[in-house]
With several copies, the nearest count.
Chain A
């Protein structure tokens, strides 16, 4: 039986009432088709003391889905809340569990940020899937009382050359571009990776950041009996019915049309109006509590608002404004129509509320009110179709301790190090490999994508791509701002998920630090295969444990995040891909540091040391199609030290540019820094080779952590060296900027002219996806 049969079949439009459910205890119910297991269904019967009505079944099934209930991940995610010290709590206004975490950034300002996945819909319908992914995370941000001010997108596609990749890339990128540009949100960063492991299951994660004054903070709760419950925004339609449950609880490899849910169609214009409308409602203090409607729609909003508040709510479901009048009560409960919000409004403020909503031409209906009964009661044309304790739907869903198994293949994989692969010695060979890396899809310039994103809108973007982190001014008076970067390396995580998680955190942290900002908080978006696969569950448990420990060690709290399971093609799970986002604060964005040099004659320094760490590297993958061994080591204390050093340098304006070393190593970082403003450099590797005991290829391609190249104006040289020595961080002068040369010269190894560098770096994506007119 399919979900439509459920909602249309028994008695067709005559809804299944509570009385009816009590009277017909033995009626068979299609819980299986809705993604519920038998024991879950029995648990629902036990909670209710009767069989659920079809409306209740619809609600429980969507709310108890993996996507909404976190039933497989909950017991692990607790660690993020537990492994915190006072330092980490200091600036946290709202922690995990709310729509998004909120961080005090000083001056009465706060920043809220969160990442979310929209992976499965983006494979079925890339444009709408990605677009509504932006819409969903932005509504999370609004519902905290914040004005959304930026987005970032983390994209992982199948093999660069695979035929289907082009469809997905075009759809996803234009979907994100369309929705975020139309909302007027600058896109300030992200990631783009191609790997066959994502072929049938691309990852589309979107992060959004919002800004608010402390007093504007809003929470999703329904308090105060008698307060009105209002649904506003777009009308409810048949979008994504059952999506939350069907999508998130099963894979859809070749599963035929029955598992194909209707996707949601987004309307960014409606969302833009909704944002302005909500901000005006907040400003005029017209809402008590607010919740966005995302997965599980009205089921989720009513049960969560009620559970977080006084516990009771009465709703007349037939008051919901419909786009399609034939929708049944169950479909309305499950609909995932976009661009909707639910607010709790005091009766004496209702008129003022409605006036604001009308001003923005937003459609509204008052559905019911908050009660003190402790029950969520939903009527349909006067008949009671839902009567539940809201916590049982929204909070106390099933929690699983899924079996965990150490992967049978991992020892062998880890034993297969890249250290033994042949490394080039001759200058020409090194040059050739350097250029191959620079033009490889994962390391190539991403401006084919980012040129489709607005960065200027709102007028506060201080840094965006291709810099390491995005940066936004929060306060026009003081220049106070935040920086943000997100990172994950699925290849490292496949080799060692715990180490991969630490590395993702370290890289995002470093990417924020090189902008001159101080890292203060973390969000994550954990993309994994099926939790029913014990080896995947092991990867997941390793990841969360390591990430929470690492955050404790670095003293930055995880403020929220998202888990996406069932990312696999057939039975082949994706590489574990925990995207980690780090938020930083900077007192004045005028002190920001770009990732490349612009001036003549600056000295180039490499901070940190290099060792033979090529396992899992871009070099091993691109040159040798190799994945094996152990990912690089990382010292979290060292990363903190490095960040503090950069901050000190930034605040004294000693640093002209700073670029962190990651995928592709020093060679890649040098090329990017040269191309940033088109200013060449002369570089020598002798000191690194000698001090660190590595060969030239290792010096250029190793992915050792804790490293950054900085450029320092001549006049600040002494001060800068003093700073490094004082802090005891390893530093070596490796070169000097050279405008005249119009090239990157690695002395005694190779020289590549600016034009050749640019062509290698920029040509790859346009050659595959179609030329754009920019350059």
Chain B
């Protein structure tokens, strides 16, 4: 069955405490050159089939369910080639 991947990131202008904690950890570990780490979510939806209607619905779900538009942005929606396992 095909998989649709929805990716959600915290809004750039808002605090991302997770990313901040990881950025701090990298610098304490002496890893140079990482300016910022931001952490978002990756949703993998296994669906019956993919067509425009399904994609439109996923888009709607991405905005309403998978992300919270007050604090997050949906950055991408892609269809995974279902022959390749993720």
- By a beta-carbon cutoff of 8 Å, the part of chain A in contact with chain B is 124-125, 128, 234-235, 237-239, 260, 262-263, 265-267, 269-270, 323-324, 337-338, 361
Contacts and interface: CB of A to CB of B under 8 A. Distances in A.
Given A265-B17, A267-B20, A324 B71 contact: no
A125 B70 contact: yes
Interface stretch (B8-16, B55-63, B76-84): B8-16
A262 B14 CA distance: 9
Contact of A265 (B12, B24, B71): B71
B17 A262 contact: no
Given A125-B70, A262-B70, A267 B24 contact: no
A238 B13 contact: yes
Interface in B27-86: 68, 70-71
A270 B21 CA distance: 9
Given A263-B71, A265-B71, A238 B24 contact: no
A239 B21 contact: no
A269 B24 CA distance: 13
A269 B71 contact: no
A237 B14 contact: yes
Nearest to B12: A324
A361 B24 contact: yes
Nearest to A128: B71
21 contacts: A125-B70, A128-B70, A128-B71, A238-B13, A239-B13, A239-B14, A260-B70, A262-B11, A262-B14, A262-B70, A263-B71, A265-B14, A265-B15, A265-B16, A265-B71, A267-B17, A267-B20, A270-B20, A323-B15, A324-B13, A361-B24
Nearest to B36: A323
B56 to A, nearest CB: 22
B15 A269 contact: no
Interface of B: 10-17, 20-21, 24, 68, 70-71
Contacts of A266: 17
Given A263-B70, A270-B20, A324-B13, 7 more contacts: A237-B15, A238-B13, A263-B71, A266-B17, A267-B17, A269-B17, A323-B15
Given A267-B20, A269-B21, A361-B24, A234 B15 contact: yes
B29 to A, nearest CB: 11
A262 B13 contact: yes
Given A267-B20, A269-B21, A237 B71 contact: no
A239 B68 contact: no
Contacts of A239: 13-15
Contacts of B70: 124-125, 128, 260, 262-263
Contacts of A265: 10, 14-17, 71
A263 B68 CA distance: 11
A736 to B, nearest CB: 47
Contacts of B13: 237-239, 262, 323-324
Contact of A267 (B12, B15, B68): B15
A270 B17 contact: yes
A262 B11 CA distance: 10
A323 B68 CA distance: 21
Contacts of B10: 265
A239 B13 CA distance: 7
A468 to B, nearest CB: 35
Contacts of A267: 15, 17, 20
Contacts of B12: 324
A235 B71 CA distance: 17
A16 to B, nearest CB: 22
Nearest to B70: A125
A125 B71 contact: yes
A235 B23 CA distance: 14
Ordered nearest first, which 8 A-B pairs have the shortest CB separation?
Answer: A238-B13, A267-B17, A324-B13, A265-B15, A125-B70, A265-B14, A263-B70, A237-B15
Interface centre among B10, B14, B20 (most CB of A within 10 A): B14
A141 to B, nearest CB: 21
Contacts of B71: 125, 128, 263, 265
Interface centre among A235, A263, A265 (most CB of B within 10 A): A265
Contacts of A338: 15
Contacts of A324: 12-13
Contact of B68 (A125, A238, A269): A125
A260 B70 CA distance: 9
Interface centre among A124, A234, A269, A323 (most CB of B within 10 A): A323
A238 B14 contact: yes
Contacts of A125: 68, 70-71
A238 B10 CA distance: 13
A361 B25 CA distance: 11
A361 B24 CA distance: 9
B19 to A, nearest CB: 11
A295 B7 CA distance: 32
